[in-house]
Amino acid sequence: MNSNLSADRPTFVTHLECSLTGQRYEADQLHNLSAAGKPLLVRYDLGAVRGFLPRAMVEARATDLWRWRELLPVRRTENVVSLGEIETPLVPIPKSSGSPNVLVKDEGRLPTGSFKARGLVMAVAMAKELGVTRIAMPTNGNAGAALAAYASRAGIETIVLCPDDTPEINVREIALQGGRVYRVNGLIDECGAIVAKGAAEGRWFDFSTLKEPYRIEGKKTMGLELAAQFGWRLPKAIFYPTGGGTGLIGMWKAFAEMEALGWIGPERPKMFAVQASGCAPIVRAFEAGEEHAERWEDAHTVAAGIRVPKAIGDFLILRAVRESGGRALAIGDPAIVKAAEDCVKKDGLLLCPEGGATLAAYRQALIDGLIDEDDEVVLFNCATGLKYPMPKATKKLDKTKPGDLSKL
């Protein structure tokens, strides 16, 4: 077992809290949304954590997701379900970004090849701890793959619904890893409506984004890692591909918790919520000064992972972006594709389309004067580019008549 999990350590969860009203809910009980229909946030006794866990103790541990155990909700070690969740690297891309200060946090190195592993490992562990035996979830691909893998390891049944144009590799991955996967002639929120109907009938527990409290806790480890990797400070800006926005919300929560622990100061990165111009409800709401985002009709983009027409945590995303002094940015598909191609051809790092969107957004932010070339910036590549279609390579060579090799 991972050295950070070799023995039980105390957890410090005190309660759950409605993200809109602040109403308290009991921990250690199954919950979906609050009575107000909003996401629940896990709260900790941070004063007790501060006394128990000096920063030096964290620094001495192996650099994986579970080094943050006291700031995570799983109470009993036997309920942890791990596939080896490493700390993901920060990779410079100086040629394609034009700056030595732009780093990609490459989440494609995680189990199942995407950052969805962070959220789902925590949510599945808590489902196991709370006695859940069957889970259903809508997905655009990578979340379903992570759920299927962790739930299979935990012995929990899974039903996964995905839009019928979900990348084939994702659908096959979900099925191979033990999930019962179905293609639906609709978008992810329409898949979610079917999941909600089944949950209301008592057929399964609804694992939709932010409809259970614990995926945020897994995703917030991205923010904890960044602080440690930057020597207990934070970059000037973060560009995050935003569909449901769980990771952006989670990082913002992590920054507040670390400040309360005395691990970092009050400085915060500018948070850039990156969406595709073919599905940009958060951008539209941000620009209109709205607290909530209306559903985006006729959503389409090559970056399927951020094709989320309606995010239940919209107000939390918008709040974090505004409080940070950041922006919500919409990027067209041609710019997304071009940025991903530039990154792999110039810097050797294969981005997923959503990762390409963050590089394209960085370029746009530079042009618009939202950031400076000297700023330390982190772009999130949320999945390995190996999961996505690539251009055909059709050139051949006859071994018996290779011809003029100088022309190769």
pLDDT tens digits for range 150-164:
999 999 999 999 999
| pLDDT more than 70, % of the chain | 98
Closest to 73 in 3D by CA, of 255, 224, 264, 216: 216
For the stretch 302-353, pLDDT in tens is: 999 999 999 999 999 999 999 999 999 999 999 999 999 999 999 999 999 9
For the stretch 218-249, pLDDT in tens is: 999 999 999 999 999 999 999 999 999 999 99
4 has a pLDDT exceeding 90: no
Query: Is 242 in a helix, a strand, or coil?
Result: coil
pTM beyond cutoff 0.85: yes
169 has a pLDDT exceeding 80: yes
**Model confidence band, residue 11 (pLDDT cutoffs 50, 70, 90):** confident
- Cα–Cα distance, 314 to 281 (Å, whole number): 9
Give the bridge partners for 183, in sequence order.
162
**Cβ-based burial of 171 (10 A; exposed 0-12, middle 13-18, buried ≥19):** buried
Task: Name the segment(s) of the chain with CATH classification 3.40.50.1100.
Answer: 90-113+216-387, 116-206
E strand or H helix at 311: none
- Cα–Cα distance, 65 to 58 (Å, whole number): 11
Are 212 and 42 a contacting pair, CB within 8 Å? no
Question: Can you spell out the DSSP letters for 23-58?
Answer: -EE-SSS---S-TTS--EEEEE-HHHHHHH--HHHH
Q: Is it true that domain 116-206 has CATH number 3.40.50.1100?
A: yes
**Model confidence band, residue 56 (pLDDT cutoffs 50, 70, 90):** very high
What is 90-113+216-387's CATH number? 3.40.50.1100
- Cα–Cα distance, 199 to 202 (Å, whole number): 5
DSSP 8-state code for residue 398: -
For the stretch 109-165, pLDDT in tens is: 999 999 999 999 999 999 999 999 999 999 999 999 999 999 999 999 999 999 999
Closest to 143 in 3D by CA, of 133, 155, 122: 122
**Model confidence band, residue 252 (pLDDT cutoffs 50, 70, 90):** very high
